Amino acid sequence: MIQTPYYLIDKSKLLRNMEKIALLRERSGAKALLALKCFATWGVFDFMRDYMDGTTSSSLNEVRLGHERFGKETHAYSVAYADYEIDEVVSHADKIIFNSIGQLQRFEKQSAGIIRGLRLNPGVSSSTFDLADPARPFSRLGEWDVKQVEPVMDLISGFMIHNNCENGDFDLFDTMLGQIEEKFSPLLKKAEWVSLGGGIHFTGDAYPLERFAERLKRFAGDYGVQVYLEPGEASITRSTTLEVTVLDKLYNGKDLVVVDSSIEAHMLDLLIYRENAKVSPNQGPHRYMVCGKSCLAGDIFGEFDFPSELNVGDRISIQDAAGYTMVKKNWFNGVKMPAIAIRELDGSLRTVREFSYTDYEQSLS
């Protein structure tokens, strides 16, 4: 058995998402780019490459990783590029998308050799959490004034619009896309391509994929554009677990177990958004609060029900541990970094990366 903690990517579960993405591409004509800000574990890029069109990034490091490890189309986006990095960004990208007119004009000469785009902010989003809302008041994410964008249309050929966030509601997506069309129609008619970003949970079990495909196809036809999507969690949802082991048991008004992992170090997004982890099936007469081993008092995965009593040495599988986990893992408290393992389609397991004290030491100075 592999020593815990480790992230376990199951290719058979990943395949379900990939097949839905491939079907959507076929039915809608849209292209799909993996959003590296969500998932950048390149050990499965060779597997995903057959089902997707490339990658989209949020930084120099991500665009280089996408270019070197994934290949195919490589889109570069950043909230702001620095002078010292723009030339290298351009060298790795097929498209560069600027967040503002100021950045577009500042780097006009350096980016003249590749396709350019601009981010638009429609002022509406599906987010219910202010921290993640791209359309929040005073948002810095994209341009919103059509009159200011029109004079720079000769410098760009398309747009990126990212305003969905964990949106599994097709009707809400449809409504917001209609609002985007109403606001930005004069610009869309002059574009050659439009990325509608990520945050659309179209690989979910109940999502109306055919209606979604038809809506994307109609949008593309109405404006004569190539549509792009940038699925992050939709690409990898439910494909990965964080495997942990019980180290200790306590009782302090509730039954507690401490595991050899940490929510702050290994599933930070849950802590940021104050969400519980997932354990399946989460049924049974024995209820435990599952706690991380860091010194942070709130390092808690959540409370879950188990079919039998937990004891030291028992293993627990934390579900849905791919999106915004491995890309955010850190060395808080020096807690052992989870290894990364892959379950192949034939059921065999292999470890693709382990982390040592040297990795911890060299992450500092």
Q: Is 269 part of any known ligand binding site?
A: yes
Answer yes or no: are the C-beta atoms of 277 and 270 closer than 8 Å. yes
DSSP string, 140-173: -SSB--HHHHGGGGGG-SEEE----SSB--HHHH
**Surface-to-core class of residue 140, CB atoms within 10 Å of its CB (0-12 exposed, 13-18 middle, 19+ buried):** exposed
Answer yes or no: are the C-beta atoms of 79 and 141 closer than 8 Å. yes
User: What tokens does 317 get?
Assistant: 């599988």
Query: Of 124, 235, 140, 119, nearest to 177 (Cα)?
Result: 124
Q: Is 238 left (phi over 0), alpha (psi -120 to 50) or beta?
A: left
Intra-chain end-to-end CA distance of the chain, in Å: 34
Rounded CA separation 242/321 (Å)? 6
What 3-state DSSP class applies to 202? Answer: coil
Q: How far, rounded to the nearest angstrom, does the alpha carbon of residue 209 sit from its chain's CA centroid?
A: 20
Which residue is it, tokens 């189309």?
73
Q: Please, which residues bridge with residue 246 across strands? A: 259
Q: How far, rounded to the nearest angstrom, does the alpha carbon of residue 276 sit from its chain's CA centroid?
A: 18
Q: Is 346 part of any known ligand binding site?
A: no
**Contact residues for 148 (Cβ-Cβ < 8 A; gap 6+):** 101
Q: What residue numbers does the annotated binding site for substrate cover?
A: 233, 269
What residue numbers does the annotated binding site cover?
A: 233, 269
